[in-house]
Structure 1
């Protein structure tokens, strides 16, 4: 098992050196092995599997997990004289990799317990299914798709990880190994009091929730935790994560990270609110509604660069129609967005919202058609006003669609907004609209530093994974799929 895990990693070893073992690695490996042993001893009996086998497997996985990081890096983060930021970053990546590996092994153990009949498969009770022929035939049918994914997705991802540890330029044939230097250049950790206070507040809120839930007994009706406390804890946790990330990054990349948050939040929140409002108006029975519904959805067919070009023309300070309308209808003059950072961000958000508006309207229109009319009529007879019907009937019924749109809009805001920025503001003025995607593309395309761009792409990937996981954990639980 150990050789199967390490051999693919050895293929990524730097050509200009081998793996070096340092004494400072031993505490980390001992800790991860102990944690793996504990996980095996606790989880395997719950799966009705052999406790000793679980302990051995957990200890082996816990000790091998860090090697998936330290072997490709030649143990460079543990070399004497290394930057402490590089050391702790390497430890963090190794621990996270080990945790993911342990989670995968636990999942495989659970599947084995189900196959052996030791554990009941609850997925069938929840509407899942099973293949009568076993996993061989499905895997054979999926083989062409998996081959395409390996060649065009997974292997480039592995190559991106390799490039992130090197200085790679088109004009230079050599690719010197720099360990995690491409990452640490973007970091400058500092003790932010706001981040510390928010982190402590989140820990306290979590402790209160855990204690109150443990005190709940079968004789207590309902949950002992107030309904608002988990939501407040989630907001505090999100704010703490953002401030901690800002505290870790350097000044230059802090601005890029903050710009990404502003543009993404503005695009998602405004886009969903406008999409729901316009969809509600378009849902009303009016003559010719099919025609204007088609026109409302039309902007979705426009690519992000074209949206950037359109708004570039609309807000042009000399010939743009927006400036002429403001001057004709008001005594004021529209500022030049190319020199005003706040206005530049607003224009980028406006263009991005316009681009995604048709997509949001389309799904909200489909969702509104599934809301039962008899429930709405009953609430109207009971005296509920329009806002009450929207809040207590329509919004809960649309929660699955809203959850889906939040995830897809966040994905668009993180990755596809680059085309709009490139044509509309080119990252200016003074970097006010340079988000993480634009920064990494500029690092590779303009500066020619593919190693730095690869490092930034991995940071962006980690950010997207964290935001998506937080979204599924916080919002996904409140989504109602009831009939």
Structure 2
């Protein structure tokens, strides 16, 4: 009979668990409780007694047209960035799944952008795609203002979406390549013997078997695009929310309201709304999208 280890004193397991418990308390529960409290009070920016105002902070947030602009921008950003990052990662994974000469080198290259910090990637692309001196400067010489993210909000939004996709496509590539390697080779060989082309084999065999991985990545990438640190870092160091609030995503607006505008109560209310939106989208994905996913 197998013997199980047990602590001889009651305080020893508590002592082992106490550091982790304190970390969770200090960096999760305490800030979460403070955000909920501030969302229903009028918090003075420089300290003092807070005044309970109920739902007034939420009413002010919902009455602000710039807030609704940030919601629309976040939806466009998260949907576009998540879908294209997954699509590009899938194409790259399918390309290197076949054991061809040099495939190992390309696997390393495709993963490398994910190791770069979001703010660093934003600063690099800010110069690479600069309308005055970057790659698009040649195009602007023939077609003035064809690309000008400093002037047009739509161009700036495309810029931050491209940076996010460039960084996170490597993340999706890792999971999709692992999923492709779990597909039985006998299925692929049988399809090849029947005369099926590589594209046909990918669409009929590999992609359907990747449904659980694709669903996981969809939930993960949309959440990351909404509240991820890279989203804030890219926007902050590339466009700073402009021009004309064209790239002011929700997470950037929350940080800007709290630390620049010193509107802690309004930022807390926006944080709770953002959490609610993420919960709604996650519920929709699990309620409707997961029905199309087969795990066996």
Please indicate, yes or no, whether the TM-score normalized by the shorter chain is above 0.5.
yes
**Pick from 57, 63, 82: which aligns with 1:268?**
82
Matches within 5 A, 1:39-58: none
Q: Is the 8 A contact 1:259 1:434 kept in 2?
A: yes
Match of 2:282 in 1: 468
Match of 1:236 in 2: none
Superimposed CA distance per residue, residues 442-471 of structure 1 (whole angstroms, 9 cap, x where no aligned partner) = 101111111111111111111111111221
Q: Is the 8 A contact 1:315 1:337 kept in 2?
A: no
Q: Taking structure 1 as the reference length, what is the TM-score of the superposition?
A: 0.55
Match of 2:240 in 1: 426
Unaligned runs of at least 5 residues, structure 2: none
Match of 2:222 in 1: 410
**Pick from 184, 192, 203: which aligns with 1:380?**
192
**Pick from 124, 133, 155: which aligns with 2:30?**
155
User: Does the alignment pair 1:369 with 2:244?
Assistant: no
Counterpart of 2:240 in 1: which secondary structure? coil
Q: Is the 8 A contact 2:136 2:147 kept in 1?
A: no
Matches within 5 A, 1:85-124: none
Query: Distance in 1 between the 2:234 and 2:207 partners?
Result: 31
Match of 1:332 in 2: 143
Match of 1:173 in 2: 48
Superimposed CA distance per residue, residues 64-83 of structure 1 (whole angstroms, 9 cap, x where no aligned partner) = xxxxxxxxxxxxxxxxxxxx
Per the TM alignment, residue 171 of structure 1 is displaced from its structure 2 partner at its CA by: 2.6
Unaligned runs of at least 5 residues, structure 1: 1-130, 189-249
- CA distance 1:384–1:435, change in 2 (3 Å): same
Query: Distance in 2 between the 1:402 and 1:273 partners?
Result: 10
Counterpart of 1:287 in 2: which secondary structure? coil
Query: Distance in 2 between the 1:418 and 1:463 partners?
Result: 17
Per the TM alignment, residue 150 of structure 1 is displaced from its structure 2 partner at its CA by: 2.6
Q: Is the 8 A contact 1:315 1:322 kept in 2?
A: yes
**Pick from 281, 287, 298: which aligns with 2:95?**
281
Match of 1:322 in 2: 136
User: Does the alignment pair 1:290 with 2:104?
Assistant: yes
Match of 1:37 in 2: none
Match of 1:53 in 2: none
Matches within 5 A, 1:203-214: none
Match of 1:12 in 2: none
Query: Distance in 2 between the 1:266 and 1:435 partners?
Result: 13
Query: Distance in 1 between the 2:17 and 2:193 partners?
Result: 54
Query: Distance in 1 between the 2:198 and 2:17 partners?
Result: 49
Counterpart of 1:426 in 2: which secondary structure? coil
Query: Distance in 2 between the 1:345 and 1:463 partners?
Result: 21
**Pick from 245, 251, 263: which aligns with 1:449?**
263
**Pick from 108, 116, 123: which aligns with 1:309?**
123
Per the TM alignment, residue 157 of structure 1 is displaced from its structure 2 partner at its CA by: 0.5
Per the TM alignment, residue 415 of structure 1 is displaced from its structure 2 partner at its CA by: 1.5
Per the TM alignment, residue 142 of structure 1 is displaced from its structure 2 partner at its CA by: 6.1
Matches within 5 A, 1:221-232: none
Match of 1:200 in 2: none
- CA distance 1:292–1:381, change in 2 (3 Å): closer
Q: Is the 8 A contact 2:232 2:251 kept in 1?
A: yes
Higher relative contact order (CA 8 A, sep 6+): 2
Q: Is the 8 A contact 2:61 2:266 kept in 1?
A: no
Counterpart of 2:62 in 1: which secondary structure? coil
Match of 1:69 in 2: none
Counterpart of 1:306 in 2: which secondary structure? helix
Per the TM alignment, residue 165 of structure 1 is displaced from its structure 2 partner at its CA by: 1.3
Query: Distance in 2 between the 1:467 and 1:351 partners?
Result: 23
Query: Distance in 2 between the 1:415 and 1:466 partners?
Result: 14
Query: Distance in 2 between the 1:287 and 1:381 partners?
Result: 22
Counterpart of 2:25 in 1: which secondary structure? helix
Query: Distance in 2 between the 1:315 and 1:264 partners?
Result: 21
Per the TM alignment, residue 391 of structure 1 is displaced from its structure 2 partner at its CA by: 2.5
**Cα RMSD, aligned residues only:** 2.3
Query: Distance in 2 between the 1:327 and 1:434 partners?
Result: 25
Query: Distance in 2 between the 1:323 and 1:403 partners?
Result: 39
Match of 1:343 in 2: 155
Match of 2:210 in 1: 398
